[in-house]
Structure 1
Amino acid sequence: MIKLPNRTAGKAGTSDLMGRVATQMGARGLTLRAAAESIGVGAATLEKHMAGEHVRSDSALKYRNWLEGRDTPRNVFVLTPRDAVVEEDARVALPTAPARPNLVVDIFSGCGGLSLGFDLLGDGRHFRTILAVDNQAAPIAVLNRNAAVMGHGSVGPGRQMDLTQFTNESEFLAFFMEHVASVENDPTISRRLDQLADGAFPRFRKAIDRADAAYIHDLNVARLTPSWRLACEGLDKAALGQTSVIGFHEQMRLPRTGVRPASLPAVLWGAPSTTPAALADAPPRALVRAMEQEWDVAVAGLSARKEASGRGQLTASARRVGAFVSLLESAAMQPMRAAWAAWRARRIELRAALFEDPAFAAELRSLYETTSPVSVLVGGPPCQGFSRIGRGKIRSLREAMVHVQGDAEAGDARNLLFRQYVMVLGALRPDVFLFENVQHFQSTVKTDGAEFQATEVLAEAIANMSDGAVSYGVSSRVLDASRHGVPQTRQRYFMSGVRVDGAQTEDQAEEILRLRRMAEVTLGEALAGLPQPDFVGGDTVRREGGEGVATVRGGPHGEDDFADWIRRAPPGGEVAEEVDGHIARSARADDAAFFALMGPGKRWMDYRADDAPTVQALRGVMDVLCALPKTALADLRAAAARAGQALPNAEDLDDLRGRVDGSLSLRLLLEQASEKLGAPHHLLTDTYLAKRDGHHGDWVARMDSGRPSKTMVSHMGKDTYGYVHPSAPRTISVREAARVQTFPDWFSFGDAALTDAFKMVGNAVPPLLSHGIAAKVAVVLAERRAARCTEDKRRAQV
């Protein structure tokens, strides 16, 4: 028998229901108050219902569940429990600004969201970012563009650099001092740097220059040979665009493979040179052999990926990787391999000779501490390896053996980038550091043969850095940006540290992360004043005619911190009347039609109805029809024909049965959108409709203007289907995402590509959140200055 859903439940039988409740109360010997508590309603409500007052459907459900011994869910929507933390309600009173702004270094900086909050404190009087490092060119270009707007000079603080290239603290410190001399345009620092250890540093730079010139010369000679040109002509050019092949070039610091003249990629201490190649010295043979072995290991790792499993794109990727591996293993590549091994060996020899010299290191540290000591180090290593989404993606790709560079200890090599953070911390030894990562940085990372707690590894690395010459009192906390004036439910792990010098550093470190609780800001407030954006189908933010530039009409208003922050002027500038980056991807016509049918705050998977009784009943009916013998089905078809109706044939019935499942309601919406367009929606496939939570179930989602946005993520660089505008049938623009991330309206994205702009916005720390942290850091630094001043006076009196 097929059980149909009860269409009258909750509409009738109220008096009978309350009679049953009264009978059960008597049987159990319950008082009115005890029964109300057990049922989950108020005592007064129960009394009214028993007296004959109308019973609403939600209360009726509680009564039925109680009578039948079922639990009634207390909350349908369960929020993530928050840590019990003490938060302030009062605004932080800023101390008197120092005579010169405290210097800040931002590593893994992106476009500078974390350091921007520091730079804007007190209109730039408290902090100044002197160095920002990222391995991507696009965010550094944006960072430097906005540093100029803030009056940071013609030479921006941003440097494109891969921190994994640094071997030790001394090498980073030398890089920093050379950078400071350039940014500050200070010839005195340059001269003193060149005088260290009887001119060791300029001799090192000249020797590195010769080694680089010799390497490029040897590569270009090899590229002119017929065998190389023939090998390149036979290579599938698409192979050079594979992620793992690009990663191989970056890992080995190789110029792009081809027949054109080679040029040195971004490499530490590298610079254009015309130095004669013949002046380069030969490195020790044993070191060259070690580098040849390093090359062979990297090639073997890449070779393993050509055995990828999977279908479609993964199979094509494996084939292309295999084509490039064949080139690497060819005779034509051997001169390239020899040139690379000699170059890398020579560089390692030169860098070790200088930066492992204790005398040079001591003089270098003295120069740093007397000229440009850094007060604050901030940064968050790339977090994909620690995020839940990232780990899942990495596992799936590792199974396909195509894209991911792994690490035996950490699983994903990016997980160990925080060790570079510790290396920089040991080099600069600032008064305060701030480390930021995803909330799941606290979780245990499990890999093949390894398991480690990331926070414990970080704490241990900090404790052991610099051979114990410096130590820090630390505190850590997960901060939810929506609790501190940011229109976004963004939870991130923060660790703060204060250098130990006899003060109560642990208390100060904890105080830094005890932020003021602020009123919740909704997405609607965040987007206020922005007109309709411009649209593109490619990846260009701005085209001729000023696409992406819009006039702000009113903007966020009120006396709250968010409105003041977004519409504030840059230091020494004026409030922005126009914004750039207000451009969104053009939606497909069928997607726009579907977006229009979605309600605020709804994911497309929210429209599934897997547990709906009607769907289950319909499925039962279809099961019966499909199981009928052919003769019975023929009789039904004849009866239907006599009634002027048509019953589908057996094949069509079976097809229809396959559509009656939890995706039926979603299918109906997509079909409705299809009818309006006269063509099937591209999501009307079994593959898409079978998706559930955890399997791209939130890939298409409409935002809700009445609450803070969900977390902005770097995936927006690929698509923004998870960020459908709360009222328009489109996805959000770069500027709208930037508003959610609290980048002020004057902050410019210039001519950054759409994909790069979305990615850097998604990766950023909300500047308004870091601004609150900066205020706490300013107080701590002022307290430390006062304590040092008091101690100096005491010593002078003694």
Structure 2
Amino acid sequence: MSNADPDRNGTGALMERVRATIAARRLSHKDAAALIGVGKNTLEDHLAGEHVRSDSAEKYRSWLAGRQRASNVFVLPSAERELDLQLPGEESPPPPSRPRLVVDIFSGCGGLSLGFDLLEGGSQFRTVLALDNQVAPIATLNRNAAALGHGERAIGRVVDLTEFLNATEFLAFYLQHAGEALDDAELQAGLRTLDDGAFLLFLDEIARTDRAFVERLNAIRSTPNWAAACGGLNPRAVDQTSVGRFHDALRLPRPSRKVATLPPLLWSAPTPERASPASPGGKDRTDQDWIAEVEAEWDAEVELLAGRREGDGRGQLTASARRVGAFADFLATDAMQQVRAAWIEWRARREWLRASLFCDARFASGLRRLYERAQVAVLVGGPPCQGFSRIGRGKIRSLREARIQAHPDTEAGDARNRLFQQYVTVLSALRPDVFLFENVAHFRSVVRVDGAAFQATELLKEAIERVSHGETRYEVAQEVIDASRHGVPQTRQRYFMAGVLTGRDAESSTRLAAACLELRRDREAPLALALAGLPAPGVAGGDGRSTGAMDAQHALDHSDADAHAFSRWVRQPRPGTKVSPVTVDAHVCRAPRSDDAALFALMGPGRRWMDYRAEQANTSALLAGLVDALLDLSDDELGRLGASATGPGRPIPGRDALLDLRSRIDGALPLRLLLEQIGARLGTPHHLLEGGYIAKKESNHGDWLARLDASRPSKTMTSHMSKDTYAYVHPSAPRTLSVREAARVQTFPDWFAFGGVALTEAFKMIGNAVPPMISGAIATRVAVVLHRREVAGREAVARQRG
């Protein structure tokens, strides 16, 4: 399996040398991995062609050169800095007559599309729609979109892509949104009058159906049966994750004695009150197949809950199973059976209405004609990697069938697979000139189905072609991009795939797809550049909104401004202005515990706490041997020895105390002594001496607590920062990074606001984002590619006329 040509990052030849050396020394993979300092599975993946990270490559080179592996040292060896500044970037082409439209799916807070929006002041691209299923990142995206000059209309929408039945429904959704976002009166009028007003009729019917369901739910909630059923339900049962998932999957309001309201739904936006027109077919009805479909959907979710009820566990898990069981019993009450009947009628009618419109060929053809007014040039985003790596050719067939049938495929697999299917469906609906998506570096670019291997890129091309009935084909390219090689102060490696719509010359399209990912190399940016000019941060607990800390403005110091491309990027003026921001929000870090702050102060830059272990220390071995010798004595011998040690300060511990002492003499002894010393000074034991934390090694998250080095790029920002930031201790202050510092490492400009959300939510969306500086570099290449296509198209037309 290979994510990219191994020779692209210079490791193909390296791994061949490793393979030859292992064979020459007659080493097993297990023994070789131990000598090199990598895991056995990691070694085998690299030998099989998997992408090799720079830190692993350095281990291989050191082993081949005969250098001993430094496993527990207090000073990191300096890494070789590569400054290959080849491939000077091509300047952006002349801007088009109006910005090309971009759609961002799985958008988060918009890191991937932001780079496109910022290119040449927004003259090249404009994001018209961004979709995510999380509220906080979309709210952040919309607040910042206003600063980009997108007007007051929100471009971000909270939508679950798995809700769309097919490409036609997504296209209708896009056109409705684009008409409003672009303030295109002609597009809006065309959608209203299409197919004798079928779309407006549909929206009216959806609204009427939703209102009827809510009225029926509230009628049920007003009965004594409902009050009795709710009274007997443990309130904590509704808070269980699996119970919440049950309601989210069915789009069902959670049980309560309050007035019922529906959660956000596709097509649930309020519509003006009008006289109710006739329903499709002339009367209220629902296809019986849909009734059977949604009955099965409800029963499947109930079965999942039953499985949770019977799950094994202890302690908190047992209590959780009991609560889930209590909710399962609640589902069997007469009141909830009435809710089930109302839900089935509502859901089945809603699905039938959607299928009746969006599986109609004439309506689909009309939408395609309207789409010419707001065609999308670039689609960005990426589905979770698990769904793509597991997709098979049987799934591709089901995607093709979804073009004409709205029923879900029972073999579709987990939600991640459905997200991949929806990604292909969106591509088929919008047919952009270029698509781009990003994923983790170890994204599996080879898929094995029934013993046969397929390139993920080939599967993607085939999926798109089949879903669109051969009307759409893309030539694709793939690359693993290390952000630190392009001026980002972070060693972030990510997989990118670019696709270019096939024109008259497929070979040319292939070259253009590769050109989208050919980024200019830039000087390495150390973490110090990201921290420069920021004052001491505010301090907050897990939720910064409670004190307004996330909204507070902090003054910047531009006196140390650097000429590095990164510094220019993060300090760029807010769109529409010419002056760099003088303040930033969200400069808030978690309040460190006093014992943690004391430990942070003792750690050197670039140190992980596992680096303070001493697995091969002679003193520890001698101490362990001495205690073992005492434990080998009989109880009588140990007692006589203890009685003979009568001098002050020289007691011989009893056997239990010796056993406890022996358990502490291991590689973690130096770290234990540091933590005990901190606890003694503070008058309370350090919390990291409890709960098995101190036993963590390299193979089980020993880098969980680490201090950053300001002279080097940071480690990768991840969404785990929402849970804790122990892996991101500030290089010089006894605290962890702030939200703004993490945002700078991810290259969000200083004007990009993260206020208004919780500290945890901000860390999560920042960790999940694509660095806008990287997306900006890709946007430059995509602009060049699109310009070349347009020029080639004009030349071809001129030749035909000539």
TM interval, shorter chain, is 0.7 to 0.9
**Distance (Å, rounded) in 1 between the aligned partners of 2:135 and 2:346:** 25
For the residues of structure 2 that align with 1:303 and 1:444, how far apart are their CA atoms?
A: 37
Counterpart mapping for 1:37-436 below 5 A: 72-73=66-67, 76=70, 88-272=86-270, 281-369=284-372, 371-382=373-384, 412-436=414-438
Greater CA deviation, 447-456 or 655-664? Answer: 447-456
2:752 aligned partner? 747
Deviation at 1:796, TM superposition (A): 3.4
Tell me how far apart the structure 2 counterparts of residues 611 and 491 of structure 1 sit (CA, whole Å).
33
Alpha carbons of structure 1 residues 134 and 630: separation in structure 2 relative to 1, 3 Å: same
When structure 1 is superposed on structure 2, of 266-275 and 323-332 the one drifting more is 266-275
Question: Quick check: 1:442–1:453 contact (8 Å CA) kept in 2?
Answer: no
**3-state DSSP of counterpart to 2:443:** helix
Structure 1 residue 470: Cα displacement: 0.9
1:460 deviates by 3.7
1:493 deviation in Å? 0.8
* Shift, 1:717, TM fit: 1.2
Map 1:298-697 onto structure 2 (within 5 A). 298-369=301-372, 371-382=373-384, 412-442=414-444, 457-503=459-505, 504-541=508-545, 543-544=547-548, 548-554=552-558, 557-573=561-577, 574-642=579-647, 645-685=650-690, 687-697=692-702
User: Partner residue of 2:14?
Assistant: none
Conserved in 2, the CA contact under 8 Å of 1:530 and 1:555? Answer: no
**Aligned-partner SS, 1:581:** coil
Could you tell which deviates more after superposition, 194-203 or 100-109?
A: 194-203
The answer (yes or no) to whether the contact 1:108–1:382 under 8 Å persists in 2 is no
Corresponding residue for 2:774? 769
Q: Aligned equivalents of 1:358 and 1:764: distance in 2? A: 38
SS in 2 for 1:254: coil
1:544–1:474 distance in 2 versus 1, CA, 3 Å: closer
Q: How has the CA–CA distance of structure 1 residues 368 and 385 changed in structure 2, closer, same or farther, with 3 Å as cutoff?
A: closer
Match of 1:18 in 2: none
Aligned partner letter, 1:344: R
Amino acid at match of 2:486: H
1:320: how far off?
Answer: 2.1
Which amino acid in structure 1 is aligned with residue 67 of structure 2?
A: P
Task: State how far apart, in whole Å, the 1-side matches of 2:132 and 2:619 are.
Answer: 55
The letter of the residue matching 1:469 is E
Q: For structure 1, list consecutive stretches of 5 or more residues without a partner in the other structure.
A: 1-69, 388-406
- SS in structure 2 opposite 1:128? strand
Task: Specify whether residues 378 and 545 from structure 1 end up closer, same or farther in structure 2 by C-alpha distance, changes over 3 A only.
Answer: closer
Q: In the comparison of the two structures, how many residue pairs are matched?
A: 707
- The DSSP-based 3-state class of the residue aligned with 1:143 is helix
How far is the alpha carbon of 1:667 from its aligned partner? 1.0
Deviations 1:564-618 (A, max 9, x none): 1010012212311000010111111222122222222222222222333332332
Deviation at 1:241, TM superposition (A): 2.2
- The aligned counterpart of 1:404 is none
The more displaced of 614-623 and 426-435 is: 614-623
Structure 1 contact 117–769 (Cα < 8 Å) conserved = yes
- CA displacement, residues 241-270 of structure 1 (integer Å, 9 cap, x when unaligned): 222222221111112221211112111111
The separation in 2 between residues aligned to 1:410 and 1:605, in whole angstroms, is 43
What secondary structure sits across from 2:522 in the alignment?
A: coil
Aligned to 1:788: 793
Q: Is the 8 A contact 1:738 1:761 kept in 2?
A: yes
- Aligned to 2:194, the other structure's residue is in SS state helix
Secondary structure at the aligned position of 2:128 is classed as strand
Asked if 2 retains the 8 angstrom alpha-carbon contact of 1:411 and 1:447, the reply is no
Structure 1: distance between partners of 2:477 and 2:206: 42
Quote the residue 2:715 is aligned against: 710
Work out the CA distance in 2 between the residues paired with 1:367 and 1:739. 41
3-state SS, counterpart of residue 568 of structure 1: coil
624-633 vs 453-462, which moves further: 453-462
Paired residues of 1:410 and 1:447 also in contact (CA < 8 A): no
Superposed, 1:18-37 pairs within 5 Å as none
Q: Distance in 2 between matches of 1:255 and 1:535?
A: 37
The range that moved more, 261-270 or 776-785, is 261-270
C-alpha deviations, 1:517-543, integer Å up to 9, x for none?
A: 111111111111111111112412473
Distance of 2:553 and 2:527 partners within structure 1: 21
Residue 769 (structure 1) shift: 0.5
**Contact in 2 for aligned 1:528/1:555 (Cα 8 Å):** no
Whether contact under 8 Å (2:542, 2:758) holds in the other structure is no
Amino acid paired to 1:525: L
TM-superposed deviation, 1:497: 0.4
CA distance change for structure 1 residues 411 and 194 in 2, over 3 Å: closer, same or farther? closer
1:419 Cα offset (Å): 2.0
Query: Shift in Å at residue 494 of structure 1?
Result: 0.5
The answer (yes or no) to whether the contact 2:549–2:588 under 8 Å persists in 1 is no
CA contact (8 A) 2:601 2:733 kept: yes
CA distance in 2, matches of 1:333, 1:796: 70
Q: Which position in structure 1 is the counterpart of 2:9? A: none
Asked if the contact 1:211/1:277 (under 8 Å) is kept, the reply is no
Distance 2:728 2:696 in 1: 18
Bigger drift between 458-467 and 154-163 goes to: 458-467
749 and 450 in structure 1: CA distance in 2 versus 1, 3 angstrom threshold: farther
TM-aligned CA deviation for residue 508 of structure 1: 0.6
1:364 corresponds to which letter in structure 2? L
Distance 1:546 1:768, change over 3 A: closer
Letter paired with 1:375: A
Between the aligned partners of 1:446 and 1:605, the Cα distance in structure 2 is 38
Show the counterpart of 2:25: none
Q: Cα distance, 1:658 vs. partner?
A: 1.2
Deviations 1:740-760 (A, max 9, x none): 000000000121111111110
CA deviation profile, 1:93-142 (whole Å, cap 9, x unmatched): 11111110110000000000000000000011100000001111111111
Q: In structure 2, what is the Cα distance between the partners aligned to 1:198 and 1:190? A: 14
Q: RMSD of aligned C-alpha atoms? A: 3.0
Relative to structure 1, the CA distance from residue 339 to residue 277 in structure 2 (aligned partners, 3 Å threshold; closer, same or farther) is farther
> Equivalent residue for 2:736?
731
Amino acid in the other structure paired with 1:308: G
Distance 1:163 1:449 in 2: 31
Contact 2:85 2:522 in 1 (8 A): no
Q: 1:792 to 1:276 in 2, by over 3 A?
A: closer
Deviation (angstroms), 1:236: 2.0
Structure 1 residues 505 and 450 mapped into 2: Cα distance closer, same or farther (>3 Å)? Answer: closer
Task: Measure, in 2, the Cα distance between the counterparts of 1:595 and 1:756.
Answer: 25
Specify whether residues 488 and 450 from structure 1 end up closer, same or farther in structure 2 by C-alpha distance, changes over 3 A only.
same
- Rg larger in structure: 1
Distance in 1 separating the partners of 2:360 and 2:85: 48
Taking a change above 3 Å as real, the CA distance of residues 372 and 329 of structure 1, as seen in their structure-2 partners, is same
Return 5+ residue gaps in structure 2 as ranges.
Answer: 1-63, 390-408
Greater alpha carbon shift after TM alignment, 689-698 vs 539-548: 539-548
Q: Which moved more, 1:755-764 or 1:621-630?
A: 621-630
1:416, distance to aligned residue in structure 2 (A): 3.9
Q: TM-score, normalised by structure 1?
A: 0.83
